[in-house]
Structure 1
Amino acid sequence: MLQADLTACVRTLREGGLILYPTDTIWGIGCDATSDEAVRRVYALKQRADHKAMLTLADSPGRVMGYVDAIPDIAWDLIELSERPLTIIYPHGRNLAPSLLGPDGSVGIRVTRERFSHALCERFRRPIVSTSANLSGQAAPGCYDEVSQEIIRGVDYVVHYRRTDRSTARPSGIIRLGADGTIQVIRE
């Protein structure tokens, strides 16, 4: 089932579609982070204002290098030493959908180690949007059973892997790295 899900997800992402998938934190809506049209579909599905940036997942720190102007030295240590999922907001994103970037050009990227999302990013060879699978203003789903039918109907493919997993999920930590070397903890 895992391999079939990965194959279907990659095909869906390459066609500009949206997926509902388990991540290293909670269930998420995903799309090709380089496709502005796909990213806009995610905003529309979530009924979310497009000035609220969404994060992306990558399979390795090396992959992140293609999507930000620079990776501060501290970022390498943070990625390596973090014991739980950590989203880093970099000052200048590039080669990504313009609607994915914050108003200041920043982008949040998390290197995932979770089995499914890591393998998906690795196979797709591009970053994948990862935003909570909920309508704007509603609680983020910790497990598949908490995802609304509206979200399920609004995506092009729903992953089967981990649907029965009821473990408690936590959102990632978030740290913003400034171009001037400043570090700001957004969420621990």
Structure 2
Amino acid sequence: MLNQILDNLRQGNTILYPTDTVWGLGCDATNEEAVKKIYKIKNRKESKSLIILVDSIEMLQNHVGNIPEKALKILKETKKPTTIIYNNPIRLAPNTIASDNTIAIRIPQDEFCIQLIKEFGKPIVSTSANVSGEPTPKSFSEISQAILKNVDYVVNLHQEKVAEKSSTILKVEGEAIIVIRE
């Protein structure tokens, strides 16, 4: 199964997969055409940025020029899924980056996600598996047919899993870290 997922990602295809929070739509976060497919599936404007998953602090450093010490401390100590919005991202598809030149990145707390990203060797997009404006599905069974029929590959794993909630979102503001979503 992992090889099929990796083949799809390498070909610029989209995947529907379980993350450490909710079911996500994903693709190669460095491939602008693949990212366009995600926006099309979600029926979402490209001006709304996406969350990116990386497998480690080392991979994070390859895509964020400066990680403040406070953010590193949070990443090392957090026990719950935490996404941090960083300034001035690099080496990512331009359409993953917000208009204010920021990017939301999370190191997932899920073995499957970590292994997938590590094997792929690049960040993967992770946006909730819903059409823009509709509720975020809490389980695979709640994912709409519009999403299922338009994604290139569905990961057959943890389909019984019910998500507790989305990740906490924090933002780097100079040397401060502010809470966007608890």
Which TM-score applies when normalising by structure 1?
0.94
Q: Is 1:33 the equivalent of 2:29?
A: yes
Aligned partner of 2:166 among 153, 160, 171: 171
Tell me which amino acid in the other structure corresponds to 1:173: T
Read off the aligned partner of 2:84 and give its amino acid letter.
Answer: I
Corresponding letter in the other structure for 2:37: R
Q: Secondary structure at the match of 1:123?
A: helix
Tell me the equivalent position of 1:146: 142
Tell me if structure 1 keeps the 8 A contact 2:21–2:163.
Answer: no
Q: How many residues align?
A: 182
Rounded to whole Å, the distance in 2 between the matches of 1:84 and 1:126 is 23
- The corresponding residue for 1:18 is 14
1:106 to 96, 102, 108: 102
Q: Percent identity?
A: 40
Q: Distance in 2 between matches of 1:182 and 1:116?
A: 32
The equivalences for 1:82-97 within 5 A come to 82-97=78-93
**5+ long unaligned stretches in structure 1:** none
Partner of 1:156: 152
1:137 positional shift:
0.4
Name the structure 2 match of 1:185: 179
Query: Is residue 59–residue 113 contact of structure 1 (8 Å, CA) maintained in 2?
Result: no
Deviation at 1:104, TM superposition (A): 1.3
- Partner letter of residue 144 of structure 2? S
> Shift of residue 142 of structure 1?
1.2
> What are the Cα deviations for residues 8-53 of structure 1, in whole angstroms up to 9, with x where unaligned?
1111000000000000000000000000111111011100111110
State the distance in 1 between where 2:169 and 2:143 align.
23
2:112 is aligned with 1:116: yes
CA RMSD, 1 decimal: 0.9
CA shift, 1:183, in A, is: 1.7
User: In 2, Cα distance between the equivalents of 1:142 and 1:67?
Assistant: 30
Deviations 1:54-80 (CA, angstroms, capped at 9, x unpaired): 010011111100001111111111111
Task: Report the Cα distance in structure 2 between the residues aligned to 1:74 and 1:168, rounded to whole angstroms.
Answer: 28
Structure 2 equivalent of residue 81 of structure 1: 77
SS at match of 1:76: helix
Aligned to 2:65: 69
Moved over 2 A (4+): none
Shift of 1:163: 1.1
